[in-house]
Structure 1
């Protein structure tokens, strides 16, 4: 039961490819739906979540971890939705969030800039010059977001199993290629790949529970054990808070134990690395 994530620029025909492939394969096709689900579950404004997923963080936001909780909430919403299988996702950040799940087919759809400009002009009723400016700005923003948040360029072909350029290839050609590729054994769910996905869902759920308390926190789940690292000052020095956190983490279905990979220390021993800044 495969899953496809399609990365695309504005007006690159990726949305059309996703929708036609979904109709042909009788799969669910989702994009903005995940944003709405995350906003509903975590009670956050849609505009703030969209900006966190699209706009590269400012220097202040990077220093203050300003976008971490929005990205954490979105990651959990996306992974939880995709566990249904037979889904085609063509929204933001899928190629980064889903990169470690082997049975997901990761695709990049590109198109000629001239064709994209014509489509932007037609839909927005603007000049060619303005359309080109908007598209280049959007492309640049997405690339900077990937580099600053994940350290990887969105256009790096190593992120994808397939990169398809709509030009000589038509949308229907792309759909046919993807349909054939989805029959390959590499993109079928196996017990091992299902376990990887289930562990990632648990990790992202726990991260979404803790990110407000410790924005830089890292969570990895393996075989029912939650390994937690890079905790903030409160979790390094407050034993009561740490115990409460562990109890909350154990409420996640399938979690049998919690390992905090940093020892408890006294508040006097804690050194704030930013004290003199």
Structure 2
């Protein structure tokens, strides 16, 4: 049983080292300003996709851009002076009328300017889509390995087969209105419910080993990527109860990758 603890400990150590390295890379005011600038630019696109106004985010982005280049001298660099003028003009025109395409053009110009100035994003933000994808795949693997070890899968298969047979028998008796047969089947219902309780307990066993490190890193990573757009949807979805969905932040992208690869790992390693 002690060997099972190795898996979540490995996850903690590896993810901790990743987060530590990523946090260390964030050092530097210019880099942080650049990150916040792109975050505001992306936020203005999200606002447009949700049917709102982009002016608030663009106004904040303009201030951050001014802070980014305030100590730069473009007199001897005409190509950067031209890019800077184009960015400044774009901010002014977008305050009057903003489109997603124009904001993306502005973002590209800002990225080119930052590159020329030697300012870039930390690795975990520059490649956030793949970074979080890797974490989702890794965590899904760890959880699957723990489940494979602590859950009695042979017993689970037996219970599922018995429950399935009971449900089929119950449906047949009801469809044929065979009251005698139905009464006989229903006498077994308490035993089936007890079996379903056993199955639920087996499914919860793995959580005892990974739930604490899982929530620690969930808290750290969700705070790190708060407000950051990880992936864009090619279209906007209007979802009941959740509203408009136009992009993936950390939460939605992580859940998509985690649950998607959980199914793959379970098929490969557990073969339910």
Give TM-score, length-normalised by structure 1: 0.20
Larger radius of gyration: 2
Give TM-score, length-normalised by structure 2: 0.20
Flag the structure with higher strand content. 1
Flag the structure with higher helix content. 2
Higher relative contact order (CA 8 A, sep 6+): 2
